[in-house]
Amino acid sequence: MSASIIAIDAMGGDYGPCCIVPASLSCLAEYSSLHLVLVGQTPLIEEIIARYPGVDRQRLHVEHASEVIAMDERPAQALRGKPDSSMRVALELVRNGRAQACVSAGNTGALMALSRYVLKTLPGIDRPAMMAAVPTMAGHCHLLDLGANVDCSAEHLYQFAVMGAVAAETLGTVQPRVALLNVGTEDIKGNQQVKLASNLLQQAAGLNYIGFVEGDGLYRGDADVVVCDGFVGNILLKSSEGLASMISSRIEALFSQSIGSRMIGALALPVLRRLRTELAPAQYNGASFLGLQGIVVKSHGSAAGEGFQSAIRRALIEVRENLPQRLHGRLEHLLL
């Protein structure tokens, strides 16, 4: 298998390099064809690497970047004020062909703004979208957009649907069922954008568009790709994270009320922990930015080592499948 080179923003995320560097080294050991470029403050990164013996330095390069984008920094400020940020330098490696993908756990808004500025969008795409996997009764579905675009026209939703379908195929779903998220499944339901987008999708050839899906239908597994604007997607994802976390806490509280239930609780704990991991897939698996002339995967800011490794694996699949090229090929036929 030919080598894949991935640029890592080693400074981003809630935990920073002390979490990202070890996670990157684990992936390097796991995939012999993987090359990594760790971008950030060289002395700090080298100090962490030095703690791990046996690292294959032939496949590991450190690229210096003097600045770091804070998690609460405004995207405009990150774009204009920090030309030498680790995030930007990592994206520039992709643009210059020195890397084939960028993975970052940093500030989402800044990563989106910088990705658009540095890599540009594919022809015909107005705005990139962010897509992640959500668990369902039937397995999982791909949900997009997750917060990059708070105001969307029908055309944007249409573009997201096309990109989501191609990306889902790339990630292994055959003929993915594509649906628009709505407040009902009948044609008359929904706001103007959703109704118009549905009309556009009904006319798209080669797309397995199945119509509207509701919030409960999403978790029932009624569709493989669920499309909505970034405002709705972000609120759905975050409220789901909040609810899952509340349920976990309630279960623990319920199981600690009496000696009898405490015993059951102790026995049930491993089962519940497994569930908790399954319920936070965005946190666990990373999200793809779709519609760019390059591959960018966002790892959750609070993702620990395992989560960041999953984001690198996701980037690796997209590199091997050449996702931007596939998107470009399909978009030429499907875009209006």
Pick between residue 42 and residue 261 the one whose CB is nearest to a copy of itself.
Answer: 261
Q: Which residue has the tokens 């013996």?
A: 53
Which of 240, 283, 313, 246 lies closest to 8, judged by CA? Answer: 313
Question: Which is it for strands 225-227 and 139-144: parallel, antiparallel or unpaired?
Answer: parallel
Taking each helix axis from N to C end, the angle separating 259-278 and 230-254, rounded to the nearest 10 degrees, works out to 160
- Residue 3 engages a copy of itself in binding (rule: CB under 8 A): no
Q: Which two tokens stand for residue 51?
A: 């703690």
Q: Which stretch binds a copy of itself (CB under 8 A): 49-57, 92-100, 157-165, 262-270?
A: 262-270
Which of 187, 140, 180, 148 lies closest to 162, judged by CA? Answer: 180
CA end-to-end distance (rounded Å), the chain: 37
- Residue 151 engages a copy of itself in binding (rule: CB under 8 A): yes
Q: Which stretch binds a copy of itself (CB under 8 A): 33-41, 50-58, 94-102, 265-273?
A: 265-273
Pick between residue 10 and residue 161 the one whose CB is nearest to a copy of itself.
Answer: 161
Q: Which two tokens stand for residue 142?
A: 């791909």
Binding mask 97-136 for a copy of itself (x = CB under 8 A): --------------------------------------xx
Q: How far apart are CA 297 and CA 111, in angstroms?
A: 10
- Among the listed residues 227, 232, 319, 331, the single contact to a copy of itself using CB under 8 A: 232
Of residues 170-189, which lie at the interface with a copy of itself (CB under 8 A)?
A: 181, 183, 186, 188
Which of 22, 18, 20, 24 lies closest to 5, judged by CA? Answer: 24
CB within 8 Å of 330: residues ≥ 6 apart: 162, 165, 166, 206
Q: Which stretch binds a copy of itself (CB under 8 A): 10-18, 166-174, 229-237, 310-318?
A: 229-237
Of residues 271-330, which lie at the interface with a copy of itself (CB under 8 A)?
A: 271-272, 274-275, 278-279
- Residue 72 engages a copy of itself in binding (rule: CB under 8 A): yes
Q: Which stretch binds a copy of itself (CB under 8 A): 89-97, 167-175, 259-267, 280-288?
A: 259-267
Q: How far apart are CA 163 and CA 203, in angstroms?
A: 16
**Residue 185 amino acid letter:** T
Residue numbers of the site for a copy of itself (CB under 8 A)?
72, 74, 135-137, 147, 150-151, 181, 183, 186, 188, 190-192, 214-220, 228, 230-232, 234-247, 249-251, 254-255, 260-261, 264, 267-268, 271-272, 274-275, 278-279
